[in-house]
Amino acid sequence: MPGPARSDQPEAKDNQGGKLLRASEERLALALKASKMGIWELDLQTREVSWSQECLAICGLSGFGSDLASFGSRVYPDDLERVRLVLEEAIVSHQPFVIEYRSLHGDGRWRWLANRGEAQYDSEGAPTCMVGTVQDVTESRLFAEELQTSERRFRQLADSICEVFWLTDTATREVLYVSPGYERIWGRTCESLYQSPDDWLEAIHPTDRGPIEATLKCRGEGAWEEEFRITRPDGEVRWVRSQAFPVHDQQGAIVRIAGIAEDVTKRRELEAQVRHTQKMQSIGELAGGVAHDFNNLLTVISTASDLLDRMLPENPEARELVQEVRSAQQRAASLTRQLLAFARKDVYERRIVDLDASVADTERMLRRLLGEDILLTTKLGAYGKRVRIDPGQLAQVLMNLAVNARDAMPSGGSLHIETAVVVRSSGASEGQPFIKITVADSGLGMDDEVRARVFEPFFTTKDVGEGTGIGLAVVFGAIDQAGGKIELCSVPGHGTTFTILLPAAEADVSATHAQSGTSAGSGETILLVEDEAMVRRLAERGLRLNGYNVISAGNAREAITILGSAQPIHLLLTDIVMPGMDGRQLAAEARVLRPEIRVLYASGYTDEAMIRRGVDRSEVNFLPKPYSLETLARGVREALESDVLPPVVGGSNPAEAVPKRSA
């Protein structure tokens, strides 16, 4: 039997190998197409280049020259030399190469291409060809450039602002980024935070560190916001406001913690200054109200003392007791004025004052202010010389300097106040007499930096909450307003001396003359309006003793009824602050009913409180409380002889509010 037909085995193997090769080439072609990559080959002997169809598609060409020069003609001129050097280096080094360059696309635009390849060599090591791939990387290059631009802008922003930006990894607690603001605020390098992520926490003030650590432990990876103090390496303490918030991935898991921190030291200082200002305003309001009531009581004491002095028989012991009461009243009145000057900003009135007498009057308050561990000594040598200054401001200057000295002597010491008369020997004021006030302490002294800023508003060397830095600024402003100068000499460890120069002033002749004139009445009728019954009764008795006819009223409505009658009234003496209608409104009504009536205001309130009610004491006849019978009579006489009349404004319609005067 014939056997089965036999095929030629070598031929079958060749066919199978060809199929495998074609399949491999097809898979390679698909892979290149999928990756948008083309293949090229350069014959180093003939300089001819073979391009795959994918290469032509990438370059946007239907055909391409086979010589190397055709390839070079489409490379961007600035990149051509770099491409040539890379190819030569790859041949010499026997190493693969990668290069990106710009090439002219078929649509006329420049595209970024990435070439990867290596050289082939013969058995003797001579280079024969180069093979490689080409790929369009324009989009990735543009994205990388945009990313670099964005990164550069972010860096510029982070470098230029004062706040701190930071980013940490929740898994490793590694600090991924911190902006240069960290160095400006914390005073520590960014590198130290990268190396030790708890570096920022260790800088927190010991008092605040516990609450912050508790916040971090409680809130973990959640959002939080806190304000705390940090201590810089140079010892400076700053307030920082820090916020943190989580960053989630696409699945919602927290992968980062981002945050921002800012230096809020200045804001905290301003807030403290505002709170202090508000507190001082509240104290001022309270002091103003207390002064009003206190001055009414002092008026009663003063006028009662004067009446007793007139009524008592010639008994030296009794009169001595009355004089003690009067002296106590005067000291209390002085204390009230000084407390108001110290506690709040008042409307100042520069007057001629005896400097030595003012210093001596303030000395009693200074001793209580300084305490027993500071020795206060004075040497008054101005010999009755006068200066033009507001007495309250002068007292405030001395108290502020004393407080500054006290704080510079925590363990006690000495404070010396001295006055003297000096004559300027040079300058525009040559030959002019000045009064010199020297305030010297044995305290800690000041260095150059502190001396240069000591009169700046809100500058202080004290800890937060212990000082506002306005005391010496007020001193400087008060002396400047009075036309004087203040100088400072201080050495660390050797105390501080302030020297004040105030122009000497002549006595106010007109005031002296006015005080020397008679204050007795000639039967004029005074309408006295005072809501405090004790003050009203004693003032009425005192005016009657001085020859005046007095009609009393307890409020403005009673006074308007009297003004509407036919009785002759020459002067309205009214308190300014009263329940219901105040003194200013009453005066306006009085001027409608009696156009020629004179008005004398009396008040124990401060100037500022009166101005809020429309009364400027410099523009009206004014009698401050507390007053004595002598100052009351003199004030009434001056008001009767004065040409000052209050304006006819601010009252109600008298035709409807009060009865008409009979003809």
Categorize the per-residue pLDDT at 146 as very low, low, confident or very high, splitting at 50, 70 and 90: confident
Categorize the per-residue pLDDT at 616 as very low, low, confident or very high, splitting at 50, 70 and 90: low
Greater pLDDT, 69 or 594: 594
Amino acid 21: pLDDT: 53
Amino acid 275: pLDDT: 79
Say yes or no to pLDDT of 7 above 50: no
CB 560 within 8 A of CB 661: no
Whether a cis peptide bond, with omega within 30° of 0, leads into 654 is no
Q: How does pLDDT run across 232-276, given as a tens digit for each residue?
A: 999 899 999 999 989 888 888 888 889 899 999 989 888 877 876
**Rounded CA separation 129/121 (Å):** 7
Q: Which residues pair with 42 in a beta bridge?
A: 49, 130
Cα separations in angstroms, 229 against 202, 203, 215, 261: 11, 9, 15, 12
Cα separations in angstroms, 217 against 211, 214, 225, 376, 588: 10, 5, 14, 56, 70
Amino acid 269: pLDDT: 84
Amino acid 429: pLDDT: 57
CB 563 within 8 A of CB 658: yes
Q: How does pLDDT run across 313-355, given as a tens digit for each residue?
A: 777 888 788 888 888 887 777 667 655 654 444 445 678 889 8
Amino acid 528: pLDDT: 94
**Residue 187 region, left (φ>0) first, then alpha (ψ -120 to 50), else beta?**
left
Say yes or no to pLDDT of 446 above 70: yes
Q: Which of 294, 402, 287 is nearest to 344 (CA)?
A: 287
Q: Which of 84, 89, 57, 52 is nearest to 68 (CA)?
A: 84
CB 249 within 8 A of CB 235: no
**Rounded CA separation 55/357 (Å):** 107
Region 154-178: mean pLDDT is: 82
Categorize the per-residue pLDDT at 628 as very low, low, confident or very high, splitting at 50, 70 and 90: confident
Say yes or no to pLDDT of 663 above 50: no
**Rounded CA separation 20/8 (Å):** 19
- Residue 573 class from Cβ within 10 Å (0-12 exposed, 13-18 middle, 19+ buried)? buried
Amino acid 351: pLDDT: 80
Categorize the per-residue pLDDT at 655 as very low, low, confident or very high, splitting at 50, 70 and 90: very low
Say yes or no to pLDDT of 509 above 60: no
Strands 485-490 and 496-505: antiparallel
**Rounded CA separation 284/295 (Å):** 16
Q: Which of 101-105, 241-245, 339-343, 517-521 has the lowest mean pLDDT?
A: 339-343
Q: Which residues pair with 498 in a beta bridge?
A: 439, 488
Give 479's DSSP letter: H
Greater pLDDT, 393 or 11: 393
Region 367-383: mean pLDDT is: 89
Amino acid 543: pLDDT: 92
**Percent of the chain's residues with pLDDT above 70:** 79
CB 56 within 8 A of CB 113: no
Mean of per-residue pLDDT scores for the chain: 81
Residues comprising the chain, all counted: 663
Q: Which residue has the tokens 């020795």?
A: 375
- pTM of the predicted model as reported, rounded to 2 decimal places: 0.45
Region 615-621: mean pLDDT is: 67
Region 577-583: mean pLDDT is: 87
Counting Cα atoms < 13 Å in the Cβ hemisphere of 455 gives 14
Six token digits for residue 30: 């698909």
Q: Which residue has the tokens 């005072």?
A: 530
Amino acid 12: pLDDT: 55
Q: Which of 32, 7, 42 is nearest to 120 (CA)?
A: 42
Give 661's DSSP letter: P
3-state secondary structure of 221: coil
Amino acid 334: pLDDT: 66
Q: Which residues pair with 525 in a beta bridge?
A: 549
Categorize the per-residue pLDDT at 579 as very low, low, confident or very high, splitting at 50, 70 and 90: confident
Categorize the per-residue pLDDT at 497 as very low, low, confident or very high, splitting at 50, 70 and 90: very high
Say yes or no to pLDDT of 456 above 90: no
Six token digits for residue 245: 């918030």
CB 316 within 8 A of CB 324: no
What single string gives the DSSP state of each residue in 388-437?
EE-HHHHHHHHHHHHHHHHHT-TT-EEEEEEEEEEE--SSTTTT-EEEEE
| Rg for the chain, CA atoms, rounded | 48
Greater pLDDT, 449 or 517: 449
Annotate 79-119 with three-state secondary structure. HHHHHHHHHHHHHHHCCCEEEEEEEECCCCCEEEEEEEEEE
Q: Which of 35-49, 102-116, 122-136 has the lowest mean pLDDT?
A: 35-49
Amino acid 344: pLDDT: 47
Helix 583-593 to helix 556-563 angle (10° resolution) is: 10
Amino acid 659: pLDDT: 39
CB 287 within 8 A of CB 339: yes
Q: What is the dihedral of CA 434, 440, 445, 448, to 10 degrees?
A: 10
Q: Which of 207, 211, 192, 201 is nearest to 261 (CA)?
A: 201
Amino acid 647: pLDDT: 64
Amino acid 427: pLDDT: 56
Say yes or no to pLDDT of 356 above 70: yes
Greater pLDDT, 288 or 91: 91
